[in-house]
Structure 1
Amino acid sequence: MKKQHKNTNTWMLSSISLAVSMALAAPVMAEDDAAATSSATSNVERIAVVGSRAAPRSVGESPVPVDIIGNEEFTKNGATDMNDLMGKVVPSYNVNAQPISDAATLVRPANMRGLAPDHTLVLVNGKRRHRASVIAFQGGGVSDGAQGPDISVIPAIALKQVEVLRDGAAAQYGSDAIAGVINFQLKDAAEGGEIELRSGQYYQGDGGMGQIAANVGLPLTAAGFANLSFEYKEQDDTNRSVQRDDAQALIDAGNLAVPEPAQVWGTPKTKSDFKFFFNSGLDLDDHNKLYLFGNWARRDVEGGFYYRNPENRSGVYSNDGGATPLIGDLTGDMSGGCEGMSIADAAASDSCYSFTEMFPGGFTPRFGGVVKDASFVVGMKGELSTDWSYDAAFSYGNNDSDFYIKNTVNASLGPDTPNDFDPGRYVETERGVNVDFDYYGIESWNIAMGAEFRRETFEIYNGDQYSFEIGPLASQGFGIGSNGFPGFKPEDAGKWSRDNYAIYVDVEKELTQDLLVTGAVRYEDYDDFGSTTNGKLSAIWTVNEYFSLRGAASTGFRAPTVGQSNVRNVSTSFGPNGLQDQATLPPTNPISVQKGGKPLDPEKSVNLSVGGVLNVDTFFLTLDYFNIKLKDRISQTSALQLTQDDRDALIAQGILDASSYSAVRYFTNDFDTTTQGIDLVISYAPDWFDGSNFSLAYNWTKTEVDDFNPENISDAKVKALEEAIPHHKGSLTWTQEVTANLRSMVRVNYYGAYWENHLDSDGDLPIDVSSAFTVDAELGYDINDDWSVSIGAQNLFDAYPDENPWAGIAGAKYPVTSPYGFNGGFYYGRLNYRF
């Protein structure tokens, strides 16, 4: 650990030297220009583009709740990952570390309003963002099987503002907009820029982080701009583990080869994380504009896995719980006489083999992957006449997850097995074309209409031969494939696509000077499950100059993803009989059909909301109630245990590694829920406390499972859906301009109690986790007009969740799904240069 910290600090010092050299060579913006830019940014932060196809409105005039988060809200944080930043500033947004969650470790699932990650639509500059290729097979109940976008590829320094529409909007934007919409607005300045350096680590001395980020605005001829942003980060992993009871027992019995700790629970190591975004526009004439924006990112993340006990790990060391060792006969004709042999005798024989010779203390695989993400959107918008405007665009997005697993074995290969494997890749590619029109020709009316085409493709690439090969010891009971994450076989590989078309009409009408009514209808047709039509009505009534009432009702849908319909995967999880290899198969696969699988249908929702807006001088308050009924929700089934007859049927179909499957999952429309809640947002800048701003954000969300199939959805999963995310979450933030050069920020965060289904144990290892407060603080100082420095701490008072009562089973000292993490306090420093 000490060596890792030293490397991070050395990297950081090199980055600082580079940044200072770049900064000194950069042109300096005049002070007056900087002030004007700051003022303009302040004015625009409360104007929302999302939620309306008419002219942008202030958040107080919107008929649906919209939060505007300015760029500075993201910079006053020790966190750097966009998921963590959103969790800090949006109360209903929850995300956790995902320390041992297979591919979900690489692209962490996040939840808004207690719903799955793919129930929130993500836009960039108002255009739909493509999904990640990762499907969260171990998502803690709520996120199980979800396939949402990867917002971690967005660097905070690239953002002008973020708009969060807290209302169902499928009738306006299409699939996924059930919990709401998040629109990331990129910076569009044609001059100036910023270089930022960050460094920090946790109070316990691990998790050292170094980051450099930069943004620059450039003119694109005299009629356009090109705004470029990049970020690069490295971060060491953390360790919040205790020694497993079984591992300690081995050590006590004299096995000194057992790792200490045998299994690590902590934040995975970010070996490298590079992000690049660009945003550009060019005025073709007085009425038409060409725009182009996109990104490229590459992230390499590596984390731990479950420990393989050298006495009883099935398929490697023993197949009867440790009563007798698993000894392989290497002769090829079973002439070695290995049956019933002891480990010591096997070690002395050239014909017999035990994996205690390779890993005498057992082994813990290291799982990771390289995630690449790329996108671009090119379009043109402008005015066709005084009454008509248009926006036409083509978009492309690609997300590629290339997995690797180390320090493990393909046990069926015996002593010839490699220890590092490439188990394969998932790739998601999306293309889209949209044309939108706005008509202003009728007084007090706005009429928008448009059409969209999207093509979504999901691909599986098989792994290296050793990761799935059926070796010579398979028939003797040794497990097949890279242990922990078997490689995708050539017969699993493939490419699946789906097309869909959509048309919509969106109307806004000021019935009176004080009453605005909006309506939208959207029709979509998918070539795999058919068509769907959705509608929305909303209104806002200005009661007086200070107070308004608003409400909305809508229907919505979420289309099953191509990945959910076709994905194949094998993951290792705890089950009723201990550690198991669980296969996820398409719902139309014969073994899934045998267990009740059938083609997927879209989820359907009904959204209702009502609220009010109070705006008196510098006091601003919004209070909104929402109710979301979701039918035919898509998720993975609980693990369905395979009988020997089931395995025999699989083998008969040519799936020869069926002996490795202990249980099967598939995606299904199998339950209905009702989610309701309250969002409260208050901001206040008191005259009596000059330079201070106070903001309070609070969310209460509760989900109830109304109906489910008990043959597929277990009681533990039902409880996870209802209780795995805190019902209450809020923050109180105080920012203060202490002097002209000195500023401070203090944020108190509250997280309500929740329930953890520890190790996905089907409720056998429940943890009731208490509510908690954490405090974040930052102090910033402007050295001069160009340079500033900040120091701060997240979780200033080093709060931890309740200790895990089941810690000895797998070594996790704390509940691993804590919404504020389990690493304790984190301190950091930041250096900024603006030009």
Structure 2
Amino acid sequence: MKNSTQRALQLNALSFSVLMAIGYPVLAEEAPATDRKTGESVERIAVVGSRAAPRSVGESPVPVDIIGSEEFTKNGATDMNDLMGKVVPSYNVNAQPISDAATLVRPANMRGLAPDHTLVLVNGKRRHRASVIAFQGAGISDGAQGPDISVIPAIALKQVEVLRDGAAAQYGSDAIAGVINFQLKDSAEGGELEFRSGQYYEGDGTLSQVAGNIGLPLSANGFANFSFQYRAQDDTSRSVQRDDAAALQAAGNADVPDPAQIWGTPETKSDLTLFFNAGLDLNDHQKAYMFGNWARRNVEGGFFYRNPSNRSGVYSNDGGATPLVGDLTGDMSGNCAGMTIAEAMASDVCFVFNEMFPGGFTPRFGGIVTDSSLVAGVKGDMASGLSYDFTASYGRNESDFYIKNTVNASLGPETPTTFDPGKYVEMERGLNLDFDYLGFDTWSLAAGLEYRRETFEIYNGDPYSFEIGPLASQGFGIGSNGFPGFKPEDSGSWSRGNAAVYLDVEKELSNDLLVTGAVRYEHYDDFGSTTNGKLSAIWSINDNFSLRSAASTGFRAPTVGQNNVRNVTTAFGPNGLEDQATLPPTNPISVQKGGKPLDPEKSVNLSFGGVYNANNFFLTVDYFHIKLKDRITQTSPLTLTDEDKAALVSQGILDASSFSAVRYFTNDFDTTTQGIDLVATYTPEWLDGSSFSLAYNWTETTVDKFNPDNISASKVKALEESLPHHKGSLTYNQALTADLRAMVRLNYYGAYWEDHLGSDGELPIDVSSAFTVDAELGYDINDDWNVSVGAQNLLDTYPDDNPWAGVAGAKYPITSPYGFNGGFYYGRVTYRF
């Protein structure tokens, strides 16, 4: 048997790969962390990357980064998505203004791939995905349905582990870009309260937050740890008046709002989240555990402005040449056709929406996201050396939408202006039984069984949100304008089950060389079976330098939501604003345009790299190469001709007349994504109390093949260019005195391309690279109280001005990876007990 250090160097048998890389932001924490209360060293242990046994980051041969909870507190941001974007260079997220349901659950991208290409775990167990599907995801995230990590409060976390390697052979579907594991606090004593407030330099976006954590004993042999966070944040506006709205004002229309359309961070009206984590030693060899959460968030943002002269289906159907006048007589005997707006407004039997909204209107869209989960299990070890872990899990995410300051135009003057369009619900239930055995001399084994059932539900909206009113036959739009409600025939519940079995083996070929392998078989109810594997190895050349490499196959199953979702959104198309329907690929409208059932995505992951560690200096460089086939995305908007609509209406699909275009999910393109992660940390002896860390990522995606009938050239460009190819940060931490410390971080964001407003390349923006600076100063008043002040984007850096600002009023490119709100200052008071 080898000693404990050599044993910890073993790579888990979760891979059919030849590994050789190493982590980045957390390997910056190669030195043990320090407990702030006791001053004692705390070794960082990673759970992901090995089924056999957790191991320290410094000894792990898998590329795992560990981010301590203290790294999340040194930020002005409070949303977990924004925090991850600060500490993980390959992680990108933006504000998502005017983005339908994606406003509620923002999509994020790791290693240049879609949100659902990254598997999310909590305490090592799979996290359920969100009910929201990102219909407007700036190309790269279109149609993605990933987990909602924004419900996880930073104060509940002990650490975050990021496995940067293809891991579908280890963990199953979604683990193509990597795995993120959120480890909850497990202390049985102590706690803290945190009060935070901040505001953007321009005086808006005011944040108020209170958070707390407490650890309690659960008898003499266990713990119960509880956390909460409540926050609210005002919206922001970085808008200019639209050209068309300005022209209306210049012509004397005093009812036009200014700005007519608001571009900014949506308002978080309320955001409450609760987490708990508990464990109990049943005896010397067996432990029970349970953890879960409940969260509720209310977010509201704006939509596109409806121009009172030319908005299709409301004010005019010929671009403003003639007004859309409704005949209220029932038999259309009012002779309203051809009237001017003034004539219609003077008539008792004719109607124009200028009577209700003479200056046009801008809908307000929002939703209440409710998230809950419960995971319980028991684990233990036997005298034979065999360990087991049995887990049952349940997760549910609900998005209940609302829209106001809008109309169901087909109802004419009887329309309400506030609607409940319905809701989406995602539910997941799972059972896991895992075993591992370390009883052999140079071998380790792990195996397991898993069953998971996923359900997606659509609940119809209130009748007014989808009703076909009396003016529909006269050309007025059907349903709540901007986000029509789900009809009863759209509602339903769809489920799918899948079962999996995996086997992992690892073998020490010598004191310096470890090889591991893994294979996983999964069967799905809807599309059948898939088998994936991984092979990996690590070679320690000397005490300071190691090499490792990996090769694996992977997959991502299409979600039940992607197979069955229905949504109508207003977006820019070739003819300006239009209603675009996203429908299941098997819907008759989709089938008419080439839709067919979805297949799983398939990937091949390769990586290699090296690590150097000596004399307070730590350096890692890793290259990765991900080949992804049959990628799932939404098609580009496919125009519905008058002939298409007529054919569909004849089949009884009456609402087809309201759609300008249709989109559906399809496996219609292949990509290659490659990149480099570089991390260096240095703790100089000549500058007491200081540390420097450099983290850099280069990622580039190439579309290898696509169907030009469904995927436009601009979408290809968005997939390749909409994220910065280069992103990095240089952080300097300094303990000025025993009680006073400072942090300064220089962030770099490379150039990128924006298809502004999803205009299919009609409004392109080449956005320049940029640097931003974050800074924080913290002071310990005593052992219990701490105060900190800081600024995010200290120098108030904005992206380039938007050359198309007059089109829809956005002053800056809206997909900026560092936002477009400018500098944000904040203060924080923490009490620890």
| CA-to-aligned-CA distance 1:617-636 (integer Å, 9 cap, x gap) | 32111110000000000000
Counterparts of 2:298 and 2:813, CA distance in 1? 25
Change beyond 3 A, Cα 1:279–1:48:
same
Match of 2:562 in 1: 564
Could you tell me how far 1:593 is from its partner in structure 2? 1.4
Could you tell me how far 1:655 is from its partner in structure 2? 1.6
| CA-to-aligned-CA distance 1:20-62 (integer Å, 9 cap, x gap) | xxxxxxxxxxxxxx9586556x5333x2110111222232333
Are 2:61 and 2:538, in contact at CA under 8 Å, matched by a contact in 1? yes
Counterparts of 1:605 and 1:96, CA distance in 2? 26
Match of 2:62 in 1: 64
Could you tell me how far 1:384 is from its partner in structure 2? 2.2
Could you tell me how far 1:386 is from its partner in structure 2? 3.9
Counterparts of 1:67 and 1:360, CA distance in 2? 57
* 2:180 corresponds to which of 178, 182, 189: 182
Are 1:730 and 1:751, in contact at CA under 8 Å, matched by a contact in 2? yes
Could you tell me how far 1:500 is from its partner in structure 2? 0.1
586-595 or 692-701, which deviates more: 586-595
* 1:579 corresponds to which of 560, 577, 580: 577
Match of 1:106 in 2: 104
Match of 1:754 in 2: 752
Secondary structure (helix, strand or coil) at the match of 1:181 reads strand
Match of 1:387 in 2: 385
Letter in 2 for 1:607: N
* 1:237 corresponds to which of 232, 235, 238: 235
* 2:202 corresponds to which of 204, 227, 239: 204
Are 2:410 and 2:469, in contact at CA under 8 Å, matched by a contact in 1? yes
Match of 1:115 in 2: 113
1:606 to 2:604 alignment: yes
Match of 1:27 in 2: none
Change beyond 3 A, Cα 1:358–1:547:
same
1:810 to 2:803 alignment: no
Counterparts of 1:537 and 1:622, CA distance in 2? 21
The runs of at least 4 aligned residues of structure 1 exceeding 2 Å deviation read 34-40, 42-45, 57-64
616-625 or 729-738, which deviates more: 616-625
Secondary structure (helix, strand or coil) at the match of 2:283 reads coil
1:490-569 aligned at under 5 Å gives the runs 490-569=488-567
Match of 1:373 in 2: 371
Counterparts of 1:278 and 1:508, CA distance in 2? 35
* 2:410 corresponds to which of 405, 412, 420: 412
Letter in 2 for 1:259: P
Match of 1:43 in 2: 42
* 1:158 corresponds to which of 156, 159, 168: 156
| CA-to-aligned-CA distance 1:433-487 (integer Å, 9 cap, x gap) | 0000001121121100000000000000000000000000000000000000000
What is the percent sequence identity of the aligned residues?
80
| CA-to-aligned-CA distance 1:506-525 (integer Å, 9 cap, x gap) | 11222111111111100000
1:274-285 aligned at under 5 Å gives the runs 274-285=272-283
Are 2:52 and 2:437, in contact at CA under 8 Å, matched by a contact in 1? no
Match of 1:713 in 2: 711
* 2:250 corresponds to which of 249, 252, 274: 252
Are 2:37 and 2:783, in contact at CA under 8 Å, matched by a contact in 1? no
| CA-to-aligned-CA distance 1:771-807 (integer Å, 9 cap, x gap) | 0000000000000110000000000000000000000
Are 2:35 and 2:42, in contact at CA under 8 Å, matched by a contact in 1? no
Counterparts of 2:48 and 2:768, CA distance in 1? 37
Counterparts of 2:248 and 2:807, CA distance in 1? 14
Could you tell me how far 1:427 is from its partner in structure 2? 0.2
Are 1:581 and 1:661, in contact at CA under 8 Å, matched by a contact in 2? yes
90-99 or 53-62, which deviates more: 53-62
1:78 to 2:76 alignment: yes
Letter in 2 for 1:547: F
583-592 or 497-506, which deviates more: 583-592
| CA-to-aligned-CA distance 1:559-597 (integer Å, 9 cap, x gap) | 000000011111100000111000111111122112111
| CA-to-aligned-CA distance 1:245-266 (integer Å, 9 cap, x gap) | 0000000000000001000000
Secondary structure (helix, strand or coil) at the match of 2:295 reads strand
Which structure carries more relative contact order (alpha carbon 8 Å, separation 6+)? 2
Secondary structure (helix, strand or coil) at the match of 2:84 reads helix
Counterparts of 1:38 and 1:443, CA distance in 2? 38
Unaligned 5+ segments in structure 1 are: 1-33
TM-score, L = length of structure 2: 0.95
Match of 2:637 in 1: 639
Counterparts of 1:36 and 1:356, CA distance in 2? 64
Counterparts of 1:669 and 1:717, CA distance in 2? 14
1:624 to 2:609 alignment: no
Letter in 2 for 1:43: V
Are 1:399 and 1:428, in contact at CA under 8 Å, matched by a contact in 2? yes
Change beyond 3 A, Cα 1:79–1:350:
same
1:2-13 aligned at under 5 Å gives the runs none
Counterparts of 1:188 and 1:564, CA distance in 2? 36
CA RMSD, 1 decimal: 0.9
Unaligned 5+ segments in structure 2 are: 1-33
453-462 or 438-447, which deviates more: 438-447
Could you tell me how far 1:348 is from its partner in structure 2? 1.3
Are 1:119 and 1:177, in contact at CA under 8 Å, matched by a contact in 2? yes
Counterparts of 2:682 and 2:121, CA distance in 1? 29
Counterparts of 1:732 and 1:57, CA distance in 2? 27
Secondary structure (helix, strand or coil) at the match of 1:512 reads coil
Counterparts of 2:166 and 2:476, CA distance in 1? 51
Counterparts of 1:453 and 1:543, CA distance in 2? 41
Change beyond 3 A, Cα 1:36–1:722:
closer
Match of 1:10 in 2: none
Letter in 1 for 2:343: D
1:661 to 2:677 alignment: no
1:140 to 2:138 alignment: yes
TM-score, L = length of structure 1: 0.95
Match of 2:89 in 1: 91
Are 1:404 and 1:420, in contact at CA under 8 Å, matched by a contact in 2? yes
Match of 2:460 in 1: 462
Are 1:54 and 1:508, in contact at CA under 8 Å, matched by a contact in 2? no
Counterparts of 1:39 and 1:535, CA distance in 2? 43
Match of 1:20 in 2: none
Letter in 1 for 2:364: R
Letter in 1 for 2:527: F
Match of 2:421 in 1: 423
Match of 1:777 in 2: 775
1:278-427 aligned at under 5 Å gives the runs 278-427=276-425
